[in-house]
Amino acid sequence: MAKSKLSWLVPATVIGALVPYLSIVWRWSQHRLGANPIATALNQIGLLALIFLVLSLSCTPLKIAFAWTWPLRIRRTLGLCAFFSASLHFLVYLVLDQGLAVPTVLEDVLKRPFIALGFAALVLLVPLAVTSTKRSVSRLGFRRWQLLHRLAYAIGVLGVLHFYLRVKADHTQPIMYGLVLALGFLLRGAAKLKGTRDARFRASAARPESV
Amino acid sequence: MRNLPRPPASSEITPRDLYARRREFIKSGALFVGTSAALGAGLTSLSSLGSADAPATPPPLPSAAPGSAPWRVDKRGQFGTSETQTSYQDITTYNNYYELGFSKSEPAALGFRIKTRPWTVRITGEVERERTLDVDTLIRWFGLEERVYRMRCVEAWSMVIPWLGVPLAALVMKLAPTSRAQYVRFTTLLDPEQLPNQESNVLSWPYVEGLRIDEAMNPLAFLAMGLYGAPLPGQNGAPLRLVVPWKYGFKGAKSLVEIRFQEHEPETTWSRAAPSEYGFYANVNPEVDHPRWSQANERRIGELSRRKTLPFNGYAEQVADLYRGMNLARYF
């Protein structure tokens, strides 16, 4: 408790992240997900994964723009939520949507660019989730750990492309997420150029847990 | 001294630092609850954006539209199937009608905006006589027939729908197209008052679809005016829509205002928007995948596991001859 005034922030993030899942389960049980509930759940869980991903990638830009430090405290939690959601999205696709038809799924992954991109994003999330602990930072050494976790940028781009290519006609939503991501990259780039990333900032911004 | 209250035991005394932090504790608790609730609500609404929930109660069967022709079924059963019919609720709440919304559920909420009577259809182009038909004239001419058809959407889901309407071939014969009429073009209503999404330019409006004249003359081709024995609700294409069950659902243009006979192949809405994904023919074909997903199988609405998609949606016996010698991978 004495650690910080914001000790409630991470638990609140975890509880908040569970709400949309409880909502999906509840609406499914009430037949509120429509005539094709599997497709609706699949789409909503996939979108959740992208939202968490974009949120976790927005923590550093928020720090740059407003000098807030609290977003950095929930960055790891948000990243893990993205991994959890992406995994669940894939499981719903594999088990409920495709009925465990592994050959069809393999063919989908190899033949369809949008599925290949989404699958690549999920695969790349695995090493980041595995090395999300404080111990991993010291085991890998901060430099190497940081380099590895820059993969998150690529994963964000893959996620947006996956969504963009899936949509039939109205691309508003994937473009919005792409813009948020691009704005974050821009802020990072600007901060780097200006050299505002002094040693102190780097120490507080780049580690998964600075407290 | 005896009357003074006993001092509290030391174990009952609140530690000083905890006492000092009680406000902070309450504040943290409030922030915890507030943050979780706000984050949860935000995530829930963001992730369900564009896929609004289905209504909790099934929509009631509509009665005949006021002023419409007597609503009775004269014939039943041609090309029927014994497969389980999709529920009225699912057929009328899971719709692709982009002019009424991009999600599957929005059209059901906005379908009432289509004013289905009075309603006329322009007959134009290469016909004996161009004219404007009142939609109820069709019922007077041909009577209403029930057809239970499979409907296979290009998005790999399917339904079984008991339509009510008139055979397209009968109408084509009656209108007497000239020998130059090689194609038929079907046009949906253009009116952003009734079809609000026509304000957006996601597709080019009005929605246009087409058939080759021999396809239009095939006995399966159908103009639907009703569903489950009652007039079509707006979201299903009221008051008059095309139904071509051996083709993907998007060929079935809704809320028709014009049927045009012409010499050249009409440019159709989806093939114009994405020519590599949607062709003019759009015959159901498990062998030819959509670039982004397989067409080999489909989910029948209401079923959990997928089923195999049949060539021409199971109507090969009736229509395969239309395409003899054609490369169906090229003319998809």
DSSP assignment of B179-208: TT--EEEEEE---TTTSGGGGS-SSPSSPE
Note the pLDDT of residue B131. 96
* pLDDT for the residue B63: 59
Number of structural domains, chain A? 1
- Cβ of A40 and B31 within 8 Å? no
Quote the CA–CA distance of A60 and A67 in Å, as a whole number: 9
**Average per-residue pLDDT in chain A?**
91
- Across the interface, whether the CB atoms of A170 and B200 are under 8 A apart is answered yes
Question: Residue A202 — pLDDT band, cuts 50, 70, 90?
Answer: low
Task: Convert the pLDDT of each residue in B180-223 to its tens digit.
Answer: 999 999 999 999 999 999 999 889 999 999 999 999 999 999 99
Size of interface A-B (CB pairs under 8 A): 129
B112–chain A nearest CA distance, Å = 19
Question: Would B47 be classed as within a structural domain?
Answer: no
Domain assignment of residue A173, given as a range: 9-206
Instruction: Find chain B residues with C-beta within 8 A of A48's C-beta.
Output: 43, 47
- Rg (Cα) of chain A, in Å, rounded? 18
Instruction: Provide the pLDDT confidence category of residue A124 given band limits of 50, 70 and 90.
Output: very high
Beta bridge partners of B258: B122, B187
Residue of B17, B22, B25, B44 best to disrupt the A interface, most CBs of A under 10 A: B44
A166 contacts in chain B (CB < 8 Å): 292
- Helix, strand, coil percent content, chain B, rounded in steps of 5: 30, 25, 50
CB contact under 8 A, B54 and A32: yes
Q: How many CB atoms lie within 10 A of CB B25?
A: 11
Question: How do residues B100-121 score in pLDDT, each as one tens digit?
Answer: 998 898 999 999 999 999 999 9
Q: Hey, which residues does B57 pair with through a beta bridge?
A: none
Distance of CA A190 to the CA centre of its chain: 23
The helix (H) or strand (E) run that includes residue A108 is helix A102-111
Nearest by CB to residue B94, choosing from A18, A35, A107, is A35
Please, what's the b/e burial string for B29-64 (b: 16 or more CB within 10 A of its CB; e: otherwise)? eeebeebbeebbeebbebbbebbbbbbeeeeeebee
Asked, for residue B234, whether it belongs to a domain, the answer is yes
DSSP strand pairing (B144-152 vs B73-76): parallel
Per CB-CB distance under 8 Å, the chain B contacts of A168 are: 155
DSSP letter string over B62-93?
PPPPTTPPP--EEEE-TT---SPPPPHHHHHH
Query: Residues of B with CB below 8 A from A107's CB?
Result: 294
| B35 within a domain of the structure (yes/no) | no
Distance of alpha carbon A133 from alpha carbon B240, whole angstroms? 62
Chain A within 8 Å of B37 (Cβ-Cβ)?
Answer: yes
Q: pLDDT tens, B294-324?
A: 899 999 999 988 999 999 999 999 999 999 9
How far apart are the C-alpha atoms of B268 and B242, rounded to whole Å? 14
Q: Is residue A4 part of a domain?
A: no
Residue of B nearest to A6 (CA): B28
What Å distances lie between residue B234 and B151, B165, B195, B209, CA to CA? 18, 15, 10, 18
A37 in contact with B, Cβ within 8 Å: no
- Mean per-residue pLDDT of chain B: 91
- Residue A29 covered by a domain: yes
CA distance A79 to chain B (A): 15
Chain A residues inside the 8 Å CB shell of B24: 5
CA B174 to chain centre: 29
Distances (CA, A) of A116 to A157, A160, A189: 13, 13, 29
| Pairwise CA distance, residues A90 & A114, whole Å | 13
Query: Which range, of B42-51, B215-224, B241-250, B271-280, averages the lowest pLDDT?
Result: B42-51
Residue-level pLDDT at A210: 46
In a domain, B43, yes or no: no
Q: Report pLDDT for B251.
A: 98
Please give, rounded to a whole number of angstroms, the shortest distance from the CA of A133 to a CA of chain B.
23
Q: Looking at the complex, does the CB of residue B329 fall below 8 Å from at least one CB of chain A?
A: no
Task: Identify whether B11 is part of a domain.
Answer: no
Domain count, chain B: 1
Instruction: Show residues of chain B in contact with A70, CB under 8 Å.
Output: none
Nearest-neighbour CA in chain B from A194: distance (Å): 33
As a whole number of Å, the CA-based R_g of chain B is: 28
CB-CB contact of A36 with B299 (8 Å)? yes
Quote the domain boundaries for residue B181.
71-323
Is the pLDDT at B69 greater than 50, yes or no?
yes
CATH number at residue B308: 3.90.420.10
Give the pLDDT score at B31: 92
CB–CB contact B90 A16 (8 Å): no
3-state secondary structure of A68: coil
On whether residue B4 sits in a domain, the answer given is no
* Contact between B274 and A8 (Cβ < 8 Å): no
In a domain, A33, yes or no: yes
Residue B169's H or E segment, with its range, is helix B168-175
Q: For residue A140, give the 3-state DSSP assignment.
A: helix
Mean pLDDT of the region B63-77:
64
Mutate to test the interface with B, among A36, A51, A89, A163 (most CBs of B within 10 A): A36
Q: Is B308 helix (H, G, I), strand (E, B) or coil?
A: strand
Tokens of B291: 């670039």
Token pair belonging to B199:
């304000």
Domain-located, residue A3: no
> Does the pLDDT of residue A1 top 50, yes or no?
no
By the 10 Å C-beta count (0-12 exposed, 13-18 middle, 19+ buried), B238 is classed as: buried
Angstroms from A131 CA to nearest CA on chain B: 26
Rounded to whole angstroms, the Cα distance separating B286 from B284 reads 7
A112 and B38 within 8 Å at the Cβ level: the answer is no
A211 domain residue, yes or no: no
pLDDT at B61 over 70: no
Q: Would you call B203 an interface residue with chain A, using a CB distance cutoff of 8 Å? A: yes
Residue A148 located in a structural domain: yes
Take residue B64 and report the two structure tokens written for it.
């005949």
CB distance A44–B36 less than 8 Å? no
**Euclidean distance between the first and the last CA atom of chain A, given in angstroms as a whole number:** 12
Could you count the other beta carbons within 10 Å of the beta carbon of residue A166? Answer: 17
In a domain, A104, yes or no: yes
Q: How far is CA B201 from CA B70, B198, B267, B317, in A?
A: 39, 7, 17, 40
A38 touches chain B (CB under 8 A): yes
Q: Pairing between strand B241-243 and B222-227? A: antiparallel
Residue of B165, B205, B211 whose CA lies nearest to B185: B211
| Helix, strand, coil percent content, chain A, rounded in steps of 5 | 80, 0, 20
C-alpha pair distances (Å), B253 with each of B88, B91, B275 = 20, 16, 18
CB contact B47 to A (< 8 Å): yes
Residues of chain B contacting A108 with CB distance shorter than 8 Å: 293-294
A158 falls within a domain: yes
Q: Does B84 touch chain A (CB under 8 A)?
A: no
Neighbour count for residue A65 (Cβ, 10 Å): 14
Q: Name the residue among B32, B200, B203 with its Cβ closest to that of A8.
A: B32
Residue B12 burial class via C-beta count within 10 angstroms: exposed 0-12, middle 13-18, buried 19 and up: exposed
